[in-house]
Amino acid sequence: MKKIEAIIRPERLEQVKVALTDAGYSGLHVESVTGRGRQRGVIHSGRGGEHYTIDMLPKVKLVLVVKDDNLEAATNLIIETARTGNIGDGMLFVSAVEDAIRVRTGERGDSLL
Amino acid sequence: MKKIEAIIRPERLEQVKVALTDAGYSGLHVESVTGRGRQRGVIHSGRGGEHYTIDMLPKVKLVLVVKDDNLEAATNLIIETARTGNIGDGMLFVSAVEDAIRVRTGERGDSLL
Amino acid sequence: MKKIEAIIRPERLEQVKVALTDAGYSGLHVESVTGRGRQRGVIHSGRGGEHYTIDMLPKVKLVLVVKDDNLEAATNLIIETARTGNIGDGMLFVSAVEDAIRVRTGERGDSLL
Amino acid sequence: MDTGDTAWIMMSTALVLLMTPGLAFFYGGLVRGKNAAATIMQAFVMLGVAGVAWVLWGYSLAFGPDLGGFIGNLEWFGLRNVGMEPGPYSDTIPHLTFMAFQMMFAVITPALILGAFAERAKFSTYLVFTVVWMTVVYAPLAHWVWGGGWIGTELGALDFAGGTVVHINAGAAALAGAIFYGKRRGVARETVPHNVTMVVLGTALLWFGWFGFNAGSALAANGGAANAFVTTNTAAAMGALTWMALSWRYTGKASIVGTATGAVAGLVAITPAAGFVGEWPATDGYLNAFPALIIGAAAGLAGFYAVRLRHKYALDDTLDVVAVHGICGIVGAMLTGVFAVSTIAGVEGLIEGSFDLLWRQLFAVLASIAWALTLTSAILWVLNKKMGLRVDENAELAGLDRSEHEEPAYQFDEPGLGSYSGGVSTVVSGPAPEVGQAPSIHADDEGISS
Amino acid sequence: MDTGDTAWIMMSTALVLLMTPGLAFFYGGLVRGKNAAATIMQAFVMLGVAGVAWVLWGYSLAFGPDLGGFIGNLEWFGLRNVGMEPGPYSDTIPHLTFMAFQMMFAVITPALILGAFAERAKFSTYLVFTVVWMTVVYAPLAHWVWGGGWIGTELGALDFAGGTVVHINAGAAALAGAIFYGKRRGVARETVPHNVTMVVLGTALLWFGWFGFNAGSALAANGGAANAFVTTNTAAAMGALTWMALSWRYTGKASIVGTATGAVAGLVAITPAAGFVGEWPATDGYLNAFPALIIGAAAGLAGFYAVRLRHKYALDDTLDVVAVHGICGIVGAMLTGVFAVSTIAGVEGLIEGSFDLLWRQLFAVLASIAWALTLTSAILWVLNKKMGLRVDENAELAGLDRSEHEEPAYQFDEPGLGSYSGGVSTVVSGPAPEVGQAPSIHADDEGISS
Amino acid sequence: MDTGDTAWIMMSTALVLLMTPGLAFFYGGLVRGKNAAATIMQAFVMLGVAGVAWVLWGYSLAFGPDLGGFIGNLEWFGLRNVGMEPGPYSDTIPHLTFMAFQMMFAVITPALILGAFAERAKFSTYLVFTVVWMTVVYAPLAHWVWGGGWIGTELGALDFAGGTVVHINAGAAALAGAIFYGKRRGVARETVPHNVTMVVLGTALLWFGWFGFNAGSALAANGGAANAFVTTNTAAAMGALTWMALSWRYTGKASIVGTATGAVAGLVAITPAAGFVGEWPATDGYLNAFPALIIGAAAGLAGFYAVRLRHKYALDDTLDVVAVHGICGIVGAMLTGVFAVSTIAGVEGLIEGSFDLLWRQLFAVLASIAWALTLTSAILWVLNKKMGLRVDENAELAGLDRSEHEEPAYQFDEPGLGSYSGGVSTVVSGPAPEVGQAPSIHADDEGISS
Ligand SMILES: Nc1ncnc2c1ncn2[C@@H]1O[C@H](COP(=O)(O)OP(=O)(O)O)[C@@H](O)[C@H]1O
Ligand SMILES: Nc1ncnc2c1ncn2[C@@H]1O[C@H](COP(=O)(O)OP(=O)(O)O)[C@@H](O)[C@H]1O
Ligand SMILES: Nc1ncnc2c1ncn2[C@@H]1O[C@H](COP(=O)(O)OP(=O)(O)O)[C@@H](O)[C@H]1O
């Protein structure tokens, strides 16, 4: 089992979700984060006619645990749907998950995903 | 060291926290997430007399890092306390943690957990 | 690649961010969490002249994915900058990351970090 | 008819109207976020419920031609012959204006009670309760005190703007409410207010509107109104400072919510007294500010310790209606008997040496409590049997916003993020579920029971 | 001059002023969080825009000396000779007070329209639109109805406080707006209100202010004002209950936002009727409350089903201005023809047996719709060509708060946390970008296009 | 006595009362979320503090029988002989009403100052400061200008509703405050407003209340009040548009907070002038709107550039009180000398060819600044020695809501989630810590110092 953590633009979440649903990935969860990378920040205008650069930008972290076999496909799907081609599109990290358990039933393993 | 990430119902968090305390797990943290799985969504009523289904549901992600030996016990405790038997009870993921460090003292390792 | 998850005081985030920038770590993201550990909680005063202890404290989870070589340096930097010496300074967890991908370009691996 | 008086009472009516949303925000800020919108709704909807019931039958029962000192008859049903000319209660303002002014009192009084059973009340039962309560409990008491009934005319107790009719009445009903509804689930003693800024907003609107409540009760724009205006502000200010000082004494911190609550406590206590107290001693007008200062301070003290006492006992009067409206209302009604002066009130209070008024005040207080407590208990007992007072456990844990209205108060984030949000993916507009057979708050979930 | 009348109309003017922020919060609560501040701004800024334009030319065009029944001339430009003495419209209040009272109507009417194209309007074009619209559409219609023009004097249709001038006018303009602006991107049918508590706050301020709007339109503190005050409150209460009941019927839940909307619908519908209806039947004053109750209920019904109907069609009238102001305005204007009674209105409505007024009302309604729809469409067509009505897709997805104002509504958390926050690290105060060539909302980003 | 005048001034008093909560929200929205409740509290508590101090000694010092043109004596202590009959300041309203109206000015003026040292002030010291300041700085200045003292009677400078007494006074005190309190920790130049919707709410309440402030200062419901009402609205509208245009010019975006601030700037500047300007030129009443339009525009310009200037220097006047109240107050006081006309003000301004008034205005401005700056500095210097003005670093970083009041403004989420929430697990109600020895905000933590 692999965990995909994709930090993407909030505006793209809806499309990515739909794409994942269509591809059969129903389980997922998202968190609200702020991040920085290449993108320098977001501009805020003050009442004195100034610009402030806020160095942390609002992003969404989408977390998806998949079977090892689906990793490549899910990764590509997310990347392609989330991409706009501009700085700030985000990053995706992959790590290993050892077990998954359904709280309701206590079932374990790959079959839950 | 193992990391347990349990995505559970917000309404059950208090009980799970108490159960963990009683069992001696004092350290933990929680995040507010929204997720979807088997549960189809939450219903919202509009002023025009319609129902909207919001496909993402509010959940809590409880994160607990435990010694390898305690994994099974902690997992079971969380599952049992968080369970209501209805769809939407959540999922629990386990992954490996390589190190833990206390910021205040710089101490490392299993003994912190 | 390693993932550092540092749960620190919200008040120290700004300094840690600046220190990381100065040391050349530009990419990172943060999440708002509440946690408990050694610290017993935060006090709330009610209108009836009572104190309530809220057992969960607001913390920031700073997430930083680094090359294996930089793990030690980044960890120390965070610990030192986030430390105040009082209970409640937080914990830092390290785990393995298998891959990193830039959404915009599809590039992979260590060189992104 | 006098245009100045009419202008002032129309304006006062508008001010009192604003108190109900003020109360909605005061209460709404104090509850937990998952009940914020539902609590605000419970207060706000009274503008509709009592607004309609009052013009239909409420006004006629309370102020219509007297039946044996006990209640008005239904001659004025649907505002029959309540018109643009002055009515029996004032020569200088239109009868309709007097009716509208009184309506706003009938709107806010049932809303006050909801604080006792906030965060667990079933909305449908609540609506039935308020209609019955306004008709059966409120209208007769208003008649007794102001509509030509026995308390005002025979007993001769004083109640300038609603110490008995509004606050003691609501406070006693709240006691019955807290008992009959029972405790909230999973709440140790008190919860943390979800929005302190909203509490202050509500308090500000209440304070602002209370000038209409009290100074408007003079039914004229004259010196009496001016006096009521000043005593009102002074008691509120003193109540706020007193409560703030007490919270500071006990926790080492000045409580913001406590300061706001103290202002409300002061306003409650001055309500029955506002237009009757002022000069002290009467002979040379020395220290006109003191009666109101003392009443405000007494209200702050009484309210604060009543809240502490309530914490000691098992009573889950969620928003402390008994303490703030019941106890402070009693304090105000009794101190009216102390500080009333003949030059203003036309009757001597204790400071002019007469115990007489004090006894009459006590009697009126006890009669109001007995009346409200008994009847409210009876109503709640029946409603509990027939409809159920509370939502079920799942609904209570999920919060009333979601379970009773399917409308969370806040959705700050982008769809798919944050707490109660999510992308609107499907719009299901039919088939309509039957009324009464409400759907589960989850699309495919039988509930979230433990 | 009468001090009581003057006091009441000054106060009414202040009350109507407060309705524009009220509307700002009503609308602001209904939109998504990323557009909250921008939507509030669009309403709030009308206090500035129309506040200046009205004293310069608007008042003179609408109420200045008549030119052929069609428009006022510019003799009163810049308030020339509009002074402290009574003017032609009332003997008992200063001319300036009448002017100020009317100004507040000119402030809120353009603001009403923005609900139709909320969440996508370009701010600069919006400003130009409102100035042109107030001058070209609003001022003439106000003149026709109240300023000595043909609808009021020749046709003899009734409009007490703005059924045609304000609500039908704004509703028809909103229809044009929804069509010309087109649908929001990525929104299926409706979005979830981001802050229900703010919706209720806005409704409360609207209801409070509406007493000035309607009872103030009597231009005196007399029985007529008292009657308008009571009909206003009654229709609002009944509208709220009606809409609540309907939402309950269809979803099994009492909608909070629906109850608030129902109150607004009732207020809209009673506006043209407020000072003309009341007694029913006129002879013995029986059931004075009923005309307003019926108008409120009709507004709740009409508004509710109009919203449902709108959902069926592709029209993205974001905040249902057509339904709530257009349709309910028409309902009110027509029912004025039904319930007007000669003792109050000086002319017989249908309940006194005469169809005459009803036809005149219908004609006035149709004329207002035709006028507003045609001219608003023409203005929007031109503005779309010249300036563009909408923001681009990136800006719309990011939300107007960030893209049009660079000021997110909320920043609750510590810098670096939560949604739209972050540590303020660099302050760039120059070089100033050229006006019109607005910088990207991201510091080094060409936009977020898909 | 006149009922219309009395109705208007009672209503005006209520309106001015509402300005203090309005200011609380204006300021509260501008600060960071961790200081929101505390900032609101600092303004709100003035209703208690000044409300009590004023009826005890404040009114007597400011308006009581004159002592050498400098201050009133204490004959009216505790409202002794301040009663329901008209007093020396007006024949048509009760003395108590005049007293109450003036009280609301004494409530809001100290609250204005807090913006200069927001986000770092120690609450206990702040309370002491406000009581002393109201007594030592405000009361004498009010006496000089309005209470029969030397500025009003001998110098003959004009101040209709508080340009010197309220705004310049508070602005100069704010300058001393920003200097003595010093800069906030870790704040580069400015922070991001945590709630723009709250800023607009505050502005709306201020604007609404300002009609009472200015038009109420006519002390009658007459043509003069009507004129003050209109000039007030016009200057506010123009101030808002001017500031909006300037922010657009510099950032390419229309600033929402800037537009709101511009409205406040316009309201500040028109305050001394409201009832004295209008006709221009006086002879044929041409262009009555223009003086107010010019004053509003001047205020927008002056305020905007004063904010920019302040950013250039090290002064941490957190919420720009010096710019918005000090500078715009000076602009208004001076332009009163320009636009006052003899038909309204009884004295000729510059536009009628006389420089005389302008010099008197300048002298009054300079005297007010010198007075307020010197005395406020002295008070702050002493308080800093004796009590300390600021909270310590840990408290400032944690935010005043938690450190000074232990009441975070917002707790939106379920217990255990989100920012400042958590399950209430233990209720510790005793033993009470000693006053002054406040507990740490963390249950077992010695603080969060770096
Ligand atoms: N090393 C890292 N560790 C943790 N998060 C990172 C790291 N690098 C980037 N991120 C996250 O990824 C987001 C996108 O990165 P960014 O460089 O802005 O986009 P792009 O890939 O288009 O240049 C950042 O906002 C941040 O949240
Ligand atoms: N593959 C997955 N990856 C990430 N999160 C998941 C995954 N599957 C489920 N979840 C999370 O677990 C939650 C519970 O799952 P759900 O299917 O609704 O409950 P149940 O197990 O009772 O059927 C979801 O809301 C989602 O947040
Ligand atoms: N075992 C754990 N699993 C997950 N989070 C933990 C664990 N232990 C501590 N934490 C997190 O670390 C934070 C700091 O720990 P705490 O014990 O309060 O500080 P200190 O290290 O100064 O004693 C806690 O608030 C909690 O969020």
Give the model confidence (pLDDT) of D143-154 as tens digits.
999 999 999 999
- Residue in F288, F291, F303, F299 with CA at minimum distance from that of residue F350: F291
Residue E96 pLDDT > 60: yes
SS3 B36: strand
Ligand 3 contact, B24 CB (< 6 A): no
What does the DSSP 8-state code read for residue F346? S
The E-side interface with B (CB below 8 A) comprises: 190, 192, 243, 246-247, 249-251, 253, 255, 257-258, 261, 304, 307-308, 310-311
Q: How many helices (H) and strands (E) are present in chain A, helices listed first? A: 2, 7
- Which chains have 3+ CB pairs within 8 A of F? A, B, C, D, E
Please state the rounded mean pLDDT for residues B35-52. 81
Closest CA–CA distance from residue B6 to any residue of chain A (Å):
9
The per-residue pLDDT for F228 is: 98
Which residues of chain C have a CB within 8 Å of the CB of B100? 91-94
Please state the rounded mean pLDDT for residues E359-378. 98
Ligand 2 contact, B59 CB (< 6 A): yes
Please state the rounded mean pLDDT for residues A57-62. 88
Torsion over CA: B19, B22, B25, B30 (sign):
positive
The per-residue pLDDT for D431 is: 37
Confidence tier at D416 by pLDDT (50, 70, 90) = very low
The per-residue pLDDT for F225 is: 98
The per-residue pLDDT for E424 is: 37
Q: How would you classify the pairing of strands C2-8 and C57-66? A: antiparallel
The per-residue pLDDT for C39 is: 65
Percent of chain E with pLDDT over 90: 84
The per-residue pLDDT for D442 is: 57
Confidence tier at F284 by pLDDT (50, 70, 90) = low
Query: How many other β-carbons are positioned within 10 Å of the β-carbon of residue E425?
Result: 20
Ligand 2 atom nearest B34 alpha carbon? 27
Ligand 2 atom nearest B90 alpha carbon? 14
Contact: D100, E240; criterion CB under 8 Å: no
Walk across the sheet containing A42-45 and list its strands. A42-45, A51-54, E424-428
C8 contacts: CB under 8 Å, gap ≥ 6: B103, C16, C59, C60, C62, C78, C82, C89, C90
The per-residue pLDDT for D174 is: 98
- Interface membership of B41 toward D (CB under 8 Å): yes
F385 contacts: CB under 8 Å, gap ≥ 6: none
Which ligand gives the minimal distance to the CA of E446? Answer: 1
Residue E433 pLDDT > 60: no
Residue B5 CA, ligand 3 centroid: distance in Å: 15
Ligand 2 contact, B57 CB (< 6 A): yes
Please state the rounded mean pLDDT for residues E50-59. 98
Ligand 1 contact, A112 CB (< 6 A): no
SS (H, E, C) C42-108: EEEECCCCCEEEECCEEEEEEEEEECHHHHHHHHHHHHHHHCCCCCCCCEEEEEECCEEEECCCCCE
SS (H, E, C) chain D: CCHHHHHHHHHHHHHHHHHHHHHHHHHHHHCCHHHHHHHHHHHHCHHHHHHHHHHHHHHHHHHCCEECCCEECCCCHHHCCCCCCECCCCCCCEHHHHHHHHHHHHHHHHHHHHHHHCCCECHHHHHHHHHHHHHHHHHHHHHHHHCCCHHHHHHCCCCCCCHHHHHHHHHHHHHHHHHHHCCCCCCCCCCCCCEHHHHHHHHHHHHHHHHHHHHHHHCCCCHHHHHHHHHHHHHHHHHHHHHHHHHHHHHCCCCHHHHHHHHHHHHHHHCCCCCCCCCCCCCCCCCCCHHHHHHHHHHHHHHHHHHHHHHHCCCCCCCCHHHHHHHHHHHHHHHHHHHCCHHHHCCCCHHHCCCHHHHHHHHHHHHHHHHHHHHHHHHHHHHHHHCCCECCHHHHHHCHHHHHHCCCCECCCCCCCCCCCCCEEEEECCCCCCCCCCCCCECCCCCCCC
Please state the rounded mean pLDDT for residues F92-111. 98
pLDDT tens profile E123-154 = 999 999 999 999 999 999 999 999 999 999 99
E410 contacts: CB under 8 Å, gap ≥ 6: D412, E33, E36, E419, E420, F194, F195, F196, F197
Bridge partners, F195 (sequence order)? E410
The per-residue pLDDT for D427 is: 39
Residue D350 pLDDT > 50: yes
Q: Average model confidence (pLDDT) for chain D?
A: 91
pLDDT tens profile D12-53 = 999 999 999 999 999 999 999 999 999 999 999 999 999 999
Which residues of chain A have a CB within 8 Å of the CB of C10? none
**B12 vs F336, which has greater pLDDT?**
F336
The amino acid that residue E72 corresponds to is G
Which ligand gives the minimal distance to the CA of B64? Answer: 3
Please state the rounded mean pLDDT for residues E204-212. 98
- Interface membership of B46 toward E (CB under 8 Å): yes
pLDDT tens profile F198-222 = 999 999 999 999 999 999 999 999 9
Spatial separation of the C-alpha atoms in residues F2 and B51, rounded to whole Å: 57
The per-residue pLDDT for C11 is: 80
The per-residue pLDDT for A39 is: 66
Contact: F251, A45; criterion CB under 8 Å: yes
The per-residue pLDDT for C112 is: 87
Spatial separation of the C-alpha atoms in residues A66 and F326, rounded to whole Å: 63
E68 contacts: CB under 8 Å, gap ≥ 6: none
Confidence tier at C53 by pLDDT (50, 70, 90) = confident
Residue D449 pLDDT > 60: no
Percent of chain C with pLDDT over 70: 97
pLDDT tens profile B51-91 = 887 778 888 999 999 999 999 999 999 999 999 888 889 99
The per-residue pLDDT for D337 is: 97
The amino acid that residue E125 corresponds to is T
CB B79 within 8 A of CB A93: no
Torsion over CA: E408, E412, E415, E417 (sign):
negative
Residue E446 pLDDT > 70: no
The per-residue pLDDT for D85 is: 95
Burial group, residue D410, by CB count within 10 angstroms (0-12, 13-18, 19+)? buried
Confidence tier at F119 by pLDDT (50, 70, 90) = very high
What does the DSSP 8-state code read for residue F173? H
CB D26 within 8 A of CB D33: no
Nearest CA in chain C to A84: C104
pLDDT tens profile F208-257 = 999 999 999 999 999 999 999 999 999 999 999 999 999 999 999 999 99
Q: Could you tell me the CA-to-CA distances from A30 to A60, A61, B79 in Å, in that order?
A: 7, 5, 21
Which ligand gives the minimal distance to the CA of B113? Answer: 3
- Structure pTM? 0.95
Measured at the CA of E14, the angle between CA E8 and CA E19, to 5 degrees, comes to 125
pLDDT tens profile E256-313 = 999 999 999 999 999 999 999 988 775 566 678 999 999 999 999 999 999 999 988 8
Confidence tier at F411 by pLDDT (50, 70, 90) = confident
Query: Inter-axis angle of helices F46-53 and D223-251, to 10 degrees?
Result: 120
Please state the rounded mean pLDDT for residues F94-102. 98
Residue E423 pLDDT > 80: no
Q: Which two tokens stand for residue D14?
A: 């508008």
Spatial separation of the C-alpha atoms in residues C108 and C91, rounded to whole Å: 29
SS3 C23: coil
